[in-house]
Amino acid sequence: MFQSARPGPPDPMFTLKKLADGDTSPNKVDLGIGVYRNEQAGYHELEAIKQAKKILDARNPGHDYEVTVGNPTFLKHATQLIFGSSSKVFQDKKVASVQTISGTGANHIGALFLSRSAEFSGKTVYIGIPAWGNYDPIFSLVGLEIAKYKYYDIEHGVYFPEMLQLVKSAPAKSILILQSCCHNPTGADLTKDQWDQLADAFKENDVLPFFDIAYQGLGAGIDEDAYGIRRFAELGLEFVVAQSFAKNFGLYGERAGVLHIIGKDEENARNIGDQLRCLVRWEFSSSPAYGSRLVTIILDDAGLTKIWRDELDTMKERLLYNRRTLYNAVVNELKVPGNWEVITSTTGLFCILPITPQQCVLLRERHHIHLPESGRINVAGLNKSNFDYVAKALQDVVGN
């Protein structure tokens, strides 16, 4: 019956995680998968989450189904985080929001909605190179065409004029994926001025912006990281936002996310929302409740919200400190040849080091330092006990 089944394409990120998790060397440094690591290189549970868990436990809401599209209070807070608390699109009821299986699920339901719409069925999705490896399969799975454009390389940085030109010249109803902050895998984000220019270009052209925001608060700050999205909303554009709570609440395994689609007006948003309700019901009926309940408890309480925001700031500052310390060790102390500016000129969890795939393999095999062959590192995996070790290993593989 199923003889045609063949192995699927490998998943570099989770293959790498398995290798790193299985490495028992005391020297192991995991700079691979995008998880915020603490100083002990482990999973970091936020204090706000610890407190929210206790509150949830005391409330004991049981395990009944959640509303198909998600708890309204959760969705209200999620929307305000993205668009700002006094956002006009929210007040004008132009946003359709549904809970999803984290950011990946938000991308998927968004892609599915577009592929089933009369306007976007069979249209082309433009993905920058390099990008998060899951965009390709998510968008091609639903029958949308994939096209690539060059977003960034280490020597040049972001190819912004080319990106702008693409928005101006792409066929009508093309879709362009945009990462709002902490670009994965490069850490190279657009400036405010570039977001303004891009928003103007989208306003003039019939191309759909599809935002992905998985690291809000870990780049420049909660509001700053949503600058592009808020600018597009201000200009009255219609667009899609895939939001994840995995990284900024440390809820990786709980799969809490939201898909927002901004429609033309209230009636349009209501219809979009009803289509999304159907897609959620047909695919997974209703979203997991645990993670979204924790997020709701935090964002519904001013005290807990403050604790969470402060923690997020501390995490953000630590990422900056890790970048500066690695840069200092590689450039000022060891004087490793190469241009390492990228370590401090980018933001968020990631940057791509100027090393070859072979050197990445050597780092793993010789030094137990785990990173994908693209050279992307998760700077949260660095800590006081491994800065020097990593810098010396880089010196070794670059020198040899």
Residues that bind ligand LMR (CB under 6 A): 13, 33-34, 132, 134, 184
Q: How far is the CB of 370 from ligand LMR (least distance, A)?
A: 12
Q: Which of 28, 94, 247, 316 is catalytic?
A: 247
For ligand LMR, the closer of residues 134 and 286 by Cβ is 134
User: Distance between CA atoms of 183 and 241, rounded to whole angstroms?
Assistant: 15
User: Distance between CA atoms of 272 and 374, rounded to whole angstroms?
Assistant: 38
For ligand LMR, the closer of residues 36 and 83 by Cβ is 36
Q: How far is the CB of 314 from ligand LMR (least distance, A)?
A: 21
User: Maximum distance among all alpha carbons in the chain?
Assistant: 63
Q: Dihedrals φ, ψ of 30, to 5°?
A: -100, 105
Q: Which of 212, 225, 316, 340 is catalytic?
A: 212
Task: Quote the tokens at residue 139.
Answer: 């968008």
**For residue 144, which of 63, 210, 55 has the smallest C-alpha distance?**
210
For ligand LMR, the closer of residues 37 and 293 by Cβ is 37
User: Distance between CA atoms of 335 and 331, rounded to whole angstroms?
Assistant: 4
Sign of the C-alpha dihedral computed for residues 96, 99, 100 and 102 taken in this order: positive
**For residue 94, which of 196, 278, 239 has the smallest C-alpha distance?**
239
HSE-up (13 A, CA, CB side) for residue 395? 17
User: Distance between CA atoms of 15 and 36, rounded to whole angstroms?
Assistant: 18
Q: How far is the CB of 254 from ligand LMR (least distance, A)?
A: 14
For ligand LMR, the closer of residues 367 and 376 by Cβ is 376
Q: How far is the CB of 380 from ligand LMR (least distance, A)?
A: 11
Q: How far is the CB of 210 from ligand LMR (least distance, A)?
A: 17
Q: How far is the CB of 134 from ligand LMR (least distance, A)?
A: 6
Q: Dihedrals φ, ψ of 107, to 5°?
A: -60, -45
Q: For residue 300, indicate whether it is catalytic.
A: no
For ligand LMR, the closer of residues 132 and 195 by Cβ is 132
Residue whose pair of structure tokens reads 């933001």 in the numeric block: 347
Q: Which of 30, 132, 308, 340 is catalytic?
A: 132
- Dihedral Cα 33, 35, 41, 44, nearest 10 deg: -160
Q: For residue 247, indicate whether it is catalytic.
A: yes
Q: For residue 94, indicate whether it is catalytic.
A: no
For ligand LMR, the closer of residues 16 and 207 by Cβ is 16
User: Distance between CA atoms of 203 and 263, rounded to whole angstroms?
Assistant: 14
Residue closest to ligand LMR when measured from CB atoms = 34
**For residue 326, which of 356, 360, 361, 351 has the smallest C-alpha distance?**
351
Q: Which of the residues are catalytic? A: 132, 212, 247
